Structure 1
């Protein structure tokens, strides 16, 4: 007979034993099983049991005050805690920093992956994530205090290359959350903003002959749930608890939003523009780094404002914003709604998102910064007795192709104003952020420089770039004096050569016209001129032409470069993955024909796509031009080399 698994919260938590290792889902308030945590706290207060638990969490399930795992910060209840993010569980963090419990801070993505490895009975996870940071065993191994002695991280040599090995540990109890369950324990998540790691954590506990308790908001008849909607199957679940009113909010900031669960889409172009304060100034400068068509992660704090700027500048549809708990596309939310998003394209399990991130899937990450030192190290995780934790910061910052750190130049009372397009520091912050050495390395500048990662540090008054020799000052805001407003408030002197003035559009109240700026900037990066061979190489790989504005941007950038070169030239264009909207195809070819007549001595296209070769060839034939489209760059270049070169003619 099938067991009816629906029980009270008190009956469920009564099954937790002294010394159990308990994993708890939750990203801020999303997916946090508040009713189960409340019941566990009540049991301990009333009976002084269970005792000596190990708490395991990836992203901190808490509100930085009383809710979530803050409820479990009782002496005797917790013996050890292994967490990815700590700033939202300050009561638990205080037990760690006061040396009252054993405690570890591991990267959020690593904890997510450990759930899978624990479920599969593997020895551990092997990763590059954390190398050179405080998680590296040569820098502490993620241990938070002196009471913590067991090594969970060690360095491994694999084929002459260093890796970090993260040791697995048992999960005896998994506390998870969903929307609907049936009496057999099948759980769906249709009203949840995220699915997180509920499935993997449940597998980890189940395969250790442990206990899985699921908090839901409603019960369905057995057999009525769509199998494709079941996130955690009943074979993994032991107990189902229906949460009382108020203990199952969608996020700590919003009781319920149909947009967060994907039931409806909302307009993002109706957002009221934020005031032009120092946060928006920084976000605007960061927005100049946004790769159109790229995949992006925006961190908490100032980086959240970048999404608002992108929406205001109407480039949000040209970007794929993501968030570490599994959001692909749409517009991520901030504050106590952080982790949720509206208009998402897809929602992954959290561990899958970190597979994507760790493998280099992000074209750009924009993250906050609290302390920065002269070699480019960044600390966002530990400040004396205040434990913030790394969260997904290490996974993201270490593996994004391009990285922008965003934050004010100083902290603690900074007041900034703008007068006539110039920045004025009305009150300087009391706390220096650019220091000789950071207290804890959350991002390793040395590791990034060694592998040639593109890293910028953006503030309201200046921009630095990471070089092999350390931080280089590359831009200064109009109205800012380098000696008075920058160097006088740094503990070290950065590298300095040519220093540009930050774009004046950042400091004007009206729209920056960012879409056209980004199109031109990024199109320029796709052009490479070889003067010796008088050949312009054009990389249109993955580019899309959807509108007349796109066409005008191509024309404008080509005109500028070709006019500068001053003679007719050979052109070779890579069209791999190129997308041309049929509605503007004719106008695009007319523009190309005009450029060819004015600036080209020869023009050749190539693509590995047979379909695109046929399409482009047909378009050329209709214009009585050469219909040959080559299969590779080498073929196109060889054809150009074999042709007699005309005497250069000034266009």
Structure 2
């Protein structure tokens, strides 16, 4: 076999083994100064054999040198595996990574200033692969505004050595946005389960599909070389075309994993049929969280769950929410998800993080971030390492320890509601500080967008307001001044409605969360803001199936309105609202009557087929559309904006 890069690729065309080569032959293609991108999430989908071969070549020959390494999610075990194999000064000169906590060897090079280093949002990097494939000049997005990747706060640069600007701030149609620049990628190191001799790839035993296709396409269209590590090789034409995730036309080299331990499904699990989606496991096999602070925090966060919502859980303390949801038997009422592409089921933790059991679907990671960035995520529960008076959160850097943001920035900015979770601190550890070291989440930007944000600990709960943090709950038996405020470096506002956290959070018995989600009292769905004269009706995910259901709703709304001595404005949340078709006429008549008698103006928002297809047209036929409705807004903020710009009586 020839061994120069061009000769090797040309030789593959006639080689009887097709594109199948050894790891050393494939990695001989990498040249000094190349940009090399790798796929993977922790250990899932990471090409360990290829990384070992690249390290082996460098240590034995001193080549290749001065690579630019690009990766989206953290790819390592916090020790020796994954991208830690590439943690050699001289082998890499630049690193653009989404998460750094699992790659201490690269982290040390960045902190010491031995390489140029950037931390960009994980979702942005996965989207950059598609933009590179399409030869776009960059990725234009709101993601990162107000955080450390914003050029106003450092542009994602991690040390003084790093001078190149990869992120620009720009104004388009009056809106501030960030432009992440694209660049060619010369080599992709990807992984699959099976390849045929033409390089077609299937991923049937993998826990995730990740950015594999997008990255292969980006490198192919950059004129680069795509190297795929696989577990097994099949004959030409034997793979089902619907199961091929990366077509062979994009793949230049196929390398069979040299040892089984170099192609583990995750860094903790050799293979699980449940992680691959070939087996569903009984929920009784899942271990409940033991009593303690972590369970209290997870339970309090779980109280923010709503039936029918799409939820993201971060790594660490937020993982406990999945355990609580399983123990409380509410998994079927919500849809859990994780950023690498899992939708539904129960996410795994530790070095299995990213995998899940009993999933509904596993989609490519860039599409998951499309869903998240576009506002499809109802609730996110994320970690809380450091927080300041403005509500800014740091989970990415602490002195010489560089964790990185991962998908945190995408998720925290885009979720409709947000809960940060973490232990309060103590024994000299201060989590609530005057100013965070690294701004991974911008409180002022969230407050300006009207994003509801909670900060949950085992001692207290705070919320974000336009002026900063406000203390709203304290654990039973604690003294506010001694046990909470004295342990914070700033003094949050105290809510006039400051109350104890629920005692049930600390008790050994279950919370009866299923009953809470299914039987949320109608009275709790109706909230009147007396200061602004607005009645908020939360009909989200409410199911009206019978005349009795409709009568109960009518009674609750009329009872609330009768307590008000004046006409009011109304804002109705119809997200996921369901109504039996035969009840559409009486419901519409009730809405029209209430509007005429009690409302000055009314707006509605959410995604509801009934409202769009029947309620609004029926109101229009009754001559009420122009007077009482303004269509269906996308969200609460838009509904309020429309309400406040609508003249009274029209």
Return the TM-score normalized by structure 1: 0.84
Distance 1:610 1:464 in 2: 35
- Map 1:163-312; keep pairs closer than 5 Å: 163-243=177-257, 244-312=259-327
Shift in CA distance, 637/101, structure 1 to aligned 2, threshold 3 Å: closer
**Residue number in structure 2 paired with 1:58:** 72
Per-residue CA deviation, residues 555-592 of structure 1 (Å, 9 max, x unaligned), is: 5996698389579999x99989644689xx99x999x9
- Map 1:501-520; keep pairs closer than 5 Å: 501-520=500-519
Alpha carbons 2:43, 2:76 under 8 Å: kept:
yes
Per-residue CA deviation, residues 471-510 of structure 1 (Å, 9 max, x unaligned), is: 1001111011101110110001111132111112111111
Per-residue CA deviation, residues 402-432 of structure 1 (Å, 9 max, x unaligned), is: 110000110xxxxxxxxxxxxxxxxx43200
SS at match of 1:302: coil
Shift in CA distance, 105/523, structure 1 to aligned 2, threshold 3 Å: farther
Distance 1:154 1:400 in 2: 24
Distance 2:560 2:467 in 1: 37
**Residue 478 in 1 paired to residue 476 in 2?**
yes
Distance 1:400 1:611 in 2: 24
SS at match of 2:189: strand
- Map 1:391-410; keep pairs closer than 5 Å: 391-410=406-425
1:544 Cα deviation after fit: 3.5
Distance 1:118 1:460 in 2: 45
**Residue number in structure 1 paired with 2:454:** 456
1:312 Cα deviation after fit: 0.9
Per-residue CA deviation, residues 348-393 of structure 1 (Å, 9 max, x unaligned), is: 1111111111111111111001110001000000001100000000
1:103 Cα deviation after fit: 0.4
**Residue number in structure 2 paired with 1:358:** 373
Alpha carbons 1:330, 1:342 under 8 Å: kept:
yes
**Residue 489 in 1 paired to residue 504 in 2?**
no
- Map 1:34-183; keep pairs closer than 5 Å: 34-183=48-197
Alpha carbons 1:186, 1:237 under 8 Å: kept:
yes
- State the superposition RMSD in angstroms: 3.6
Alpha carbons 1:55, 1:78 under 8 Å: kept:
yes
SS at match of 2:215: helix
SS at match of 1:79: strand
SS at match of 1:290: coil
SS at match of 2:283: coil
Shift in CA distance, 559/211, structure 1 to aligned 2, threshold 3 Å: same
Alpha carbons 2:578, 2:610 under 8 Å: kept:
no
Distance 1:328 1:219 in 2: 29
Distance 2:340 2:621 in 1: 40
1:134 Cα deviation after fit: 0.6
Return the TM-score normalized by structure 2: 0.84
Distance 2:75 2:371 in 1: 23
| Unpaired stretches in structure 2, ≥5 consecutive residues | 1-12, 599-603, 629-650
Alpha carbons 2:51, 2:85 under 8 Å: kept:
yes
Distance 1:197 1:168 in 2: 16
Alpha carbons 1:85, 1:390 under 8 Å: kept:
yes
**Residue number in structure 2 paired with 1:562:** 559
